[in-house]
Structure 1
Amino acid sequence: MVIITFPISMLCVFVVVRHFERIIILRNGKIYKNRAFGPGLVYFLPCVDTVKYIDLRIACYVVPPQEALTKDSLTVSVDAVVYYKVIDPIPAVINVADYSVSTQLLGATALRNALGSVKLTDLLIDRPAISNQVLEQMKKLTSQWGIKVLRVDIKDIRLPLQLQKAMAAEAESTRLANAKIIVAKAEIEATKNLQKASVILSDNPLSMQLRYLQSLHLIAGENAHTIVFPFSTETLRKIFK
């Protein structure tokens, strides 16, 4: 019997792993050397090894619009943008079948849960708070997959047309009510000032005469053809007596 041997280099496959990549080699179903390989030139045995490529760059995806009921039972449609990256390639291969799809589905679920825990006004006023809530929910699970969620941003909030009209009508009513309150406060303040002025003028006759002359000057400056002289009843009695 003749045994022919081949150098190990003839049975290997060499691949170039780029700087932003890592590969996991599964030899006979087990992680080879319990670590990720790369960057640089890496070889593996095609007959007994299975190679998994992992991209370490930041990935971004848009969560499709999610329709959900808010805490005050109003329907909204919200979409978001999620940024994440792989920080540990081994759990990303071993602990989850497809870390990319799983992260995207988790983002949609976390967004729906966050929408159900807040009121519509809070959602419209404070978007960053909702984004942080989704971010924290995702971090709890993705850390077990070797994934780090970096940022979550609420992209758009869509309301039903009827709800938009109702909110616009409510805002208009609020503005009108505030305007009436401001006018009423101004009238009260003006009345108080007139009362103070009347007390001052009644106590000082000379001030009353000066005010009377000032009124005549203002009337004459407007090119008016009629001038009204305000005489008291006592003065008229003295004139026509």
Structure 2
Amino acid sequence: MQQASTLILTDIKKESLKEKFFRFIAILLIIIFPVMLVLCFRVVKQYKRAVVLRFGRVRADSPAGPGIIWVIPCTDTVILIDLRTQSFSLPPQEVLTKDSVTVSVDAVVYFHIVKPLNCFLNVQSHGRATELIAVAILRNILGQYTLSDLLTNRGAISCTAKKEIEKVTIEWGIEIERVEIKNILLPYELQKAMASEAEGTRLAKAKIIEAEGEIKTAENLREASRIMMENPQTILVII
């Protein structure tokens, strides 16, 4: 009996290196599986959309969201696109008007993304690209107007600029909401000349009004003298 028992014990072998490795992998998978499961879910906020790339290609359900979306770690890349209205201020631009006057004009542009896929695939940096094209188009449009038109027709010029900018940005999935011209700065010498011209115009109008008053006074005196000549008794009454 003791000899049989000894033979059975000798048949037991130690765990091999391969078995240890697979056991370690199994334990590791059991530990990290819950963490990996959590990483497979992403939350997309209401005002955003997610463009998902799988092995570098756009996934069929893109843009995804809002809500919870399913992704595979290490294979899927998620890019979030903000759909809210964005704005930027154009730096002051030196513009030569149609009547050869140099003015400095600054404006603000409001836009939002309507097609996240076009915005991601067709342009590298949609904000910067929109700003650059807005500067170029606004300079071209302002050069087609005289100084008087710039000062009096800001609304119409802003609408024209909006339509021209949107013709380019619509290919990027961007819609221009409005373009507002904030300030039109004139050179100091031109401001002085315009102030002198306005003062001269006011003085001329004042003199015209004064002359018209004198004319009306003379007409009233002439009418009174005519009445006196036609009715001599009025002179006696006055005396």
TM-score by length of 1: 0.79
1:1-241 aligned at under 5 Å gives the runs 10=36, 13-33=40-60, 35-210=62-237, 212-213=238-239
- For 1:118, the aligned partner's letter is Y
Shift of 1:10: 4.2
Shift of 1:114: 2.1
- For 2:88, the aligned partner's letter is Y
Shift of 1:44: 2.3
Shift of 1:34: 5.5
- For 1:149, the aligned partner's letter is I
> For residues 202 and 209 of structure 1, what CA distance do their matches in structure 2 show?
12
SS across alignment from 1:185: helix
Equivalent pairs, count? 211
Tell me which residue corresponds to 2:13. Answer: none
Q: Does the 8 Å contact 1:57/1:86 carry over to 2?
A: yes
% identical aligned pairs: 46
Q: Does the 8 Å contact 2:42/2:70 carry over to 1?
A: yes
What's the Cα RMSD here?
Answer: 2.4
SS across alignment from 1:33: coil
1:22-80 deviations in Å (ceiling 9; x for gaps): 11112233221063011112232343333221001111111111111111111111111
Q: Does the 8 Å contact 1:66/1:111 carry over to 2?
A: no
Q: Does the 8 Å contact 1:95/1:145 carry over to 2?
A: yes
> For residues 72 and 34 of structure 1, what CA distance do their matches in structure 2 show?
55
Shift of 1:146: 0.7
